[in-house]
Structure 1
Amino acid sequence: MSSRTVSSVVRGFSIRRFFDQYGLAFVMVASYFGSGSVFIASSAGVQFGYGLLWAAAGAVLLGFMAQDMSARLGIFGDSLASFTREKIGAPGATALMVLLSVGCVAWALALTAAVGQGIVVLFGLQSIGWQPFAVATGLLAMVIGILSYDFVERVMVTMMFGLLIAYLVVLSGSSPDVGAVVSGFVPGVSEAGSMALAVSILGTTALWPNFFLESKLVAQKGWNSAADVPIMRRDLSIGYFIGGLTTVAILIVAAAVLRPAGYTQLDTFLTPGRALSAVLGDWAMTLFLVGTVAAAFNSIVPIMWAPAYMIPDAMGERFDGNSRLFTAIYVGGVGLGCLSPLVQQVLQLSVVDMIVLFPAYNGVVGLPVTALLLFWAVNDSETMGDRTNGWKLNVVNSLLILLAVYSAWTGGQAVFDAIFSGGF
């Protein structure tokens, strides 16, 4: 066999085989890795150097375990929304899903604003403003989101790898302290305020819409038996490794470049880009902006898929991802997410305020509710049969619940006050 033939076989196997078996985790990781995650990771590096790398690693492990439980629920039981309907009835479950979906729309508002602002800065279009581009972003997300799942999955995987490469290129131009990087993976909260930011890193990774999505979308991959669990876990391992590596790269760049340059806080999610441009050259600014825009847009589709799956499941509707109801809910939700310019005017919130506060709202409202539902579901023998959680998984899931409750308890009042009082 010629070398050209061997090369063709390898390429055909690697690409087709990968998408046949894997890829779902990238949709999950892409949904949490938005502009808020970029801002939080950068803030961690600026304020505490390498000291919170352990939180980034812990977030990956926690997210992996939560998604594993959600996937097993879908494989051995049913979707999380269907489980909720079976336990509290269709009217109550539908009302709960609609309430939770408000948080998804809030996320979309923040993400369309972030993409719009990123485009304006990237192309020097300040005279136009970010608002028209936010609306255009929503319209594009509508089109992509109603295409076939396989196509969307490939788009998410491609953009996620592109995002990782962009940040690794920037990282290659910095000179981090290797010893300090290694010590940063040892847990510690010696500085005031570091624990709050560590909780933010953990909370933004344990994204509650993914608990609904994973339990629903395993069927799209054909995972429906115990034999598929190892494949599902390899998929999660690959996806969360890439997502975690990207988070770590952002944090290290901020610690190695911004902190020594005298930055102590970030005024906007674009501040790291401006600083990197001054230190490393204009190419770093461009890569940072491209990465930030890609991260924000990447999150819109899977986050707004969640209500389109959750609400019909809660109503007891049986459908595939191409149904009219799915399309109507998805398009309607993204349409509301296009209204970020109007929300800015009404609530007097800046783009940065929306990027930080709307995900925080979801951490206060959506995460505790969903974490409790998931814990209930994976321990319900009527749903899971003999595949209920063991004690080890229950310990991990309990940590997720404690994190969710702690975040809501400590930050809830401040989040609502900031949203309705014009931001920070």
Structure 2
Amino acid sequence: MSFKSFFKNLGPGPIIAAAFIGPGTVTVCTLAGVNFGFSLLWALGLSIISTVVLQEISGRLGLVTGQDLSQLIRNQKGKPLFRYFSMGLVLIAIGLGNAAYESGNISGTNLGLQVFWAAPIVNLAGFEVLTGNLILGAFAFILLWIGNYKALERVLVGLVIFMSIAFTAAAILTKPDWSAVFAGFLPRWNDDNLPTLVALIGTTVVPYNLFLYASLAKTRWSGFADIPWMRKDIAISIILGGLVSMAILMVGAANSSSEITSAIDVSKGLEGVFGSFAKYLMGFGLMAAGLTSSITAPLAAGLVICGILGWSQEIRSSSMRASMGIIVGLGLVFASLGIKPVQLITLAQLANGILLPLISGWIIWIASQKEILGNFRNKPRQTVIAGVIWLVTLILGLKSILAVLGISM
């Protein structure tokens, strides 16, 4: 098999990698390295394995059934009350959650942009309008409005490649102690690093990516005959994305700054290694991470909203454009006017904390049903592995809910 054939048959996996490596991931991984060195690399390794397993199941469901997860939820048989509850929960968690996260994605992109160009701030009716956020949000929406999956994929793949080069080069140039790096893959935790550990896994195992990949996979490939390609696609993409996250953590571990409030602050502590080039390296990486997530979050939310409500999921349809526009618009309002949607983000965290174990448990159960997947259902060993991963998502969900309620665990 030639390299040309290999890359020709790969699908939307890079979009999933682009989706989970956003400003939040960059910040969490950076702070994990700053505060705990290499000791939490194993948590990223666990998150990569968990994500590959769950995304493979969602992709397989999409290919075999010809439906994505939101359509499967809408069309499930059983008690109507449970079906409507499931539909409502998904709409709140994905729709509201992605609108809140879009605000962070746009703000994070602008933070990286400010390293190269400080967009003016305009005072409007008592509000400070950040024009950089407006420009970046408009750029993301234009790409989505054009509605060309191939063009989107090329843009996202390009950004992921540049982002990977930026952070990987930064990690290697810090000349880490490789024995300490490898020691970081030995699992260990305590009360101090547990919140960061949970955050590291939570930034990679993302509920909306399960919906996004099932939808894109059934569009990209023709059916169950392409399952082997789907598996290669998602495994390669998630592993490479995970390696980028590890590189970001390693860059954080090399930092010598005393004050860290964002990923950009790390560049100040790296000036001994890179000189003044440090801020440009981190700025570009953060800008690329923010742009990829600014595009994928509205796309995923649009697919979920339209799937749940039974509307057209064709990216150029009025229903998709309206759904994606609402997500980008809300993100722009919160980001450009300097509003911090704390209550909205809190509600999103609570909804996603409930959704993650529910949706992961649901797809694991669906994937074991012969009447749905036939010979492509989970084998007993796969179900056991997926069950262990479900326990991880349950713990993540509980931690998220308790954190919102202000209860320590």
TM-score (norm 2): 0.87
Contact 2:129 2:337 in 1 (8 A): no
2:233 counterpart SS class: helix
Contact 2:92 2:351 in 1 (8 A): no
1:217 counterpart SS class: helix
| 1:401 and 2:390 aligned | yes
The one-letter code matched in structure 1 to 2:149 is Y
Equivalent-residue separation in structure 2 for 1:167 and 1:231 (angstroms)? 28
Moved over 4 A (4+): 88-94, 124-130, 346-349, 357-363
Which deviations, in whole Å up to 9, do the C-alpha atoms of 1:141-168 show, x marking residues without a partner? 1111232111111111111010010112
| 1:115 and 2:109 aligned | yes
Aligned CA distance change for structure 1 residues 348 and 366 (closer, same or farther; 3 Å): closer
Deviates more, 1:194-203 or 1:119-128: 119-128
Contact 2:334 2:340 in 1 (8 A): no
How much is the aligned-residue C-alpha RMSD, in angstroms? 2.8
| 1:197 and 2:201 aligned | no
The one-letter code matched in structure 1 to 2:16 is M
Which deviations, in whole Å up to 9, do the C-alpha atoms of 1:191-247 show, x marking residues without a partner? 43223222211111111111111111112222412x312111111122122211111
Residue of 206, 213, 233 corresponding to 1:235: 233
Match of 1:70 in 2: 58
Match of 2:157 in 1: 157
Amino-acid identity (%): 24
Equivalent-residue separation in structure 1 for 2:248 and 2:362 (angstroms)? 33
Residue of 51, 56, 59 corresponding to 2:44: 56
Deviates more, 1:231-240 or 1:30-39: 231-240
Match of 1:180 in 2: 180
After TM superposition, the structure 1 = structure 2 runs for residues 191-340 of structure 1, keeping only pairs within 5 Å, are 191-225=190-224, 227-255=225-253, 257-258=254-255, 261=256, 263=258, 266-340=260-334
Equivalent-residue separation in structure 2 for 1:198 and 1:372 (angstroms)? 22
Aligned CA distance change for structure 1 residues 97 and 188 (closer, same or farther; 3 Å): closer
Equivalent-residue separation in structure 1 for 2:140 and 2:405 (angstroms)? 28
Contact 2:44 2:201 in 1 (8 A): yes
Match of 2:91 in 1: 98
Which deviations, in whole Å up to 9, do the C-alpha atoms of 1:275-321 show, x marking residues without a partner? 22354211121011110011011012222112221222223345533
Following superposition, the deviation at residue 397 of structure 1 comes to: 2.5
Aligned CA distance change for structure 1 residues 159 and 326 (closer, same or farther; 3 Å): same
Which deviations, in whole Å up to 9, do the C-alpha atoms of 1:109-149 show, x marking residues without a partner? 11111112322243245766782211222211111123211
- Segments of structure 1 that go 5 or more residues without pairing to the other structure are 1-12, 419-424
Equivalent-residue separation in structure 1 for 2:173 and 2:129 (angstroms)? 30
Following superposition, the deviation at residue 80 of structure 1 comes to: 0.8
The one-letter code matched in structure 2 to 1:68 is E
Equivalent-residue separation in structure 1 for 2:312 and 2:372 (angstroms)? 18
Match of 2:125 in 1: none
| 1:33 and 2:21 aligned | yes
Match of 1:143 in 2: 142
1:228 counterpart SS class: helix
Equivalent-residue separation in structure 1 for 2:276 and 2:43 (angstroms)? 31
Contact 1:23 1:157 in 2 (8 A): no
Equivalent-residue separation in structure 1 for 2:26 and 2:163 (angstroms)? 11
Contact 2:22 2:293 in 1 (8 A): yes
Contact 2:121 2:130 in 1 (8 A): no
Deviates more, 1:304-313 or 1:396-405: 396-405
- Segments of structure 2 that go 5 or more residues without pairing to the other structure are 123-127
